[in-house]
Amino acid sequence: MKYSYITICLFISIILLVIYNNYIVIEGFTQTNNQKWSSDLIRRFNIYQTTMNDNVNQFNLEVLQQQATPEETEELLKTGYWPWADDLKQSYIEHVWSSPLIKIDPNYALDYAMRLYNQQSATELLAWNSKEGEFLLYGGTNKSGDTIKCSNNMIMTKNDVPLKPEDIPKEMPGFEFVGKPCEPCKVFDNNNSNPICPFKLNVEGDDTISVPWRKLWNM
């Protein structure tokens, strides 16, 4: 079955909004730009928002200015697309291919997403839909049937009993820190200025770190 471009964009928009509504904003990962948007750039972005974008997608300018540099924003205004790194594009395409919800040409999905999401926000969205993100959000079960997950207090627990960071690899098969043990659940602490705690998860023999988390962990 063939779909019109408008139908495809609407469908992708719905999927992205579902992801976005379940997406947790991690302030520690949101870059703070040394270069602030000029008043002229803000004015031109608002014009773009209400004309080229038909005011369909609403942006929080305060957050957006933290995520996107003036140069990235100029690129959007010039081309209609936020600039993404090639590995992020590939990661997004692979996510669309593997999604049971999105059964359309991944290139259409990528085209639409690059019009909507800047590189930082796209990276964070993909991160929460990766194996690392799902483990942080929902936890996992070890061979003994124990539940290993982040608590509301932002610490890793085993059956709701706190775990020391150095004990997490012993309790969760396939989990391995990259570097010294640290508290991975601190990623949910928006008052934490450095939520970087890199780790690997071996899932079905694959212990590679996903592209979004490599970027967020500055690896």
Q: Say what the pLDDT of residue 103 is.
A: 63
Q: Say what the pLDDT of residue 22 is.
A: 42
Task: Give the global pTM.
Answer: 0.77
Which ranges of the chain does DSSP label H, i.e. alpha helix? 5-21, 39-50, 61-67, 70-79, 86-98, 106-116, 119-128, 131-138, 168-171, 211-216
Q: Say what the pLDDT of residue 108 is.
A: 83
Q: Give the pairing type, strands 156-158 and 199-201.
A: unpaired
Q: Say what the pLDDT of residue 102 is.
A: 57
Q: Say what the pLDDT of residue 52 is.
A: 75
Q: Say what the pLDDT of residue 2 is.
A: 43
Distance CA 18, CA 152 (A): 23
CB 76 within 8 A of CB 126: no
136-153 pLDDT, tens digit each: 999 999 999 999 999 999
Angle of helix 39-50 relative to helix 70-79, nearest 10 degrees, comes to: 30
Task: Give me the residues of the chain with pLDDT under 70, please.
Answer: 1-34, 53-58, 99-103, 193
